[in-house]
Copies of this chain bind each other. A is one copy, B any other.
Amino acid sequence: MPCFLPIPADHPFPIQNLPYGVFSAREKGPRVGVAIGDYVLDLSVLSEAGLLPSYGVFAEPSLNAFIASGRDFWNEVRATLQYLLDEETTTLSGNRRLRTRALIPVQELTMHLPVAVGDYTDFYSSKQHAINVGTMFRDKNNPLLPNWLHLPVAYHGRASSLVVSGAPIRRPRGQTKRPEAATPGFGPSLELDFELEIGYFVGQGNTLGEPISVTDAQQHLFGLVLVNDWSARDLQRWEYVPLGPFLAKNFSTSISPWVVPMAALQPFRVAGPKQDPPPLPYLSDGQDCAYDIALEIKLQTAAMANAYTISRTNFKEMYWSMNQQLAHHTVTGCNLRPGDLLASGTLSGAEKNSYGSLLELAWGGKEPLELPNGERRSFLEDGDTVILTGYAQGDGYRIGLGEVRGTIVSAPS
């Protein structure tokens, strides 16, 4: 199904992708669009023109109403868009006035947070990440805590401070205690870090008291984004016992603006890592439920002309699948709502150059990361920009997640 717009084979947003986002442009406020090549297709315009149903859903400043409309509606919209963008369809391509109104070049866009997130949950589902953290901070001979291989550990995150790619990240201040100090102190975090994660939005939710089974879980997913779970390691170390991370994570979490629908990712389903011991029945899932998505972390300091790739890994290595995460999250009866965000936790591959945080890449400051211009990093400095990207490689096309980027700005004085 070639698109009537020319789109290179390595472009993140071909006709097979069609990720949803919320943008403003041309002096009109936030509304729903789909990325196609270097354009956004304004769904509110298509709907107004009678080419898509339910105008109200696309004129909204978030995807929530669209997500809540359900899977049949998503499928109908996606099929209609692929038809309209096909090179053999002239409805849009042959209507110059409509085309000019509906297709807006990316340079003209301001992107917004795509979803108004009710609750945000962050998992801890990369085995290598858990091993790395356990090795550094607990016991290198026994790095995984006893529960880790039996359930997908998670915590509730902060929804209010989710921001869209490009938002500046202000270095947080907070309370920390240096190991050698007798008492805690207060000041800007000196151990600011990123975390490479994949996030996914819940489509259909569940009623309080009615769990989602692991076999049904896939039907409850809407789509994926990249997540940078910025973390202040020094705040985290001091505050996190016994109730988990709080201020160390709640100052900002960045997500990519384009939500890639699960429908676009079905060709990339693969078997996940072998699970040993086998999980309890409520977490046991015979399906191929991992996704082959290549991920990359780039860093650009204020002194560098270009961003430099510091890590590459793959989403398919995540130990606990999204299906298992959803089933576990709801097994008590906890209700998920359309638009809730769940994230993977830091995704670290097996090799050092595939780790998902600077904490791991620089091994807690013991092996600072060497950058090509001679700079070194144990943690992020003001002016550093972190860019996370990812894509699934198809036969002659890519399903890209786009990118999530953020630049560190200095702490308030």
A-side residues, CB < 8 A to B, are 118-119, 124, 145-147, 150-151, 153-161, 163, 170, 172-175, 177, 183-186, 208-211, 232, 235, 238-247, 250-252, 277, 280-282, 328-329, 331-337, 340, 412
CB distance from A385 to the nearest CB of B (A): 18
| B160 in contact with A332 (CB, 8 Å) | no
Contact of A243 with B241 at beta-carbon distance under 8 Å, contacts A157-B156, A209-B170, A335-B160 already known: no
Tell me which of A151, A186, A333, A335 has the highest count of chain B C-beta atoms within 10 A of its own C-beta: A333
| B174 in contact with A332 (CB, 8 Å) | yes
Compute how far the CA of A151 lies from the CA of B184 in the bound complex, rounded to whole angstroms.
10
Compute how far the CA of A170 lies from the CA of B151 in the bound complex, rounded to whole angstroms.
22
- Chain A interface mostly: loop
Compute how far the CA of A348 lies from the CA of B75 in the bound complex, rounded to whole angstroms.
53
Compute how far the CA of A412 lies from the CA of B211 in the bound complex, rounded to whole angstroms.
10
Known: A160-B208, A333-B412. 14 other contacts (CB 8 A): A118-B118, A147-B238, A150-B183, A153-B243, A155-B244, A156-B157, A156-B158, A156-B250, A163-B208, A170-B333, A186-B280, A186-B282, A210-B412, A243-B245
Contact of A332 with B243 at beta-carbon distance under 8 Å, contacts A160-B337, A186-B282 already known: no
Closest residue on chain B to residue A146 by CB atoms: B177
Closest residue on chain B to residue A117 by CB atoms: B118
Contact of A155 with B153 at beta-carbon distance under 8 Å, contacts A242-B145, A331-B174, A333-B172 already known: no
Tell me which residues across on chain B come within 8 A of A282, comparing CB atoms. 175, 186
| A332 in contact with B250 (CB, 8 Å) | yes
| B250 in contact with A336 (CB, 8 Å) | no
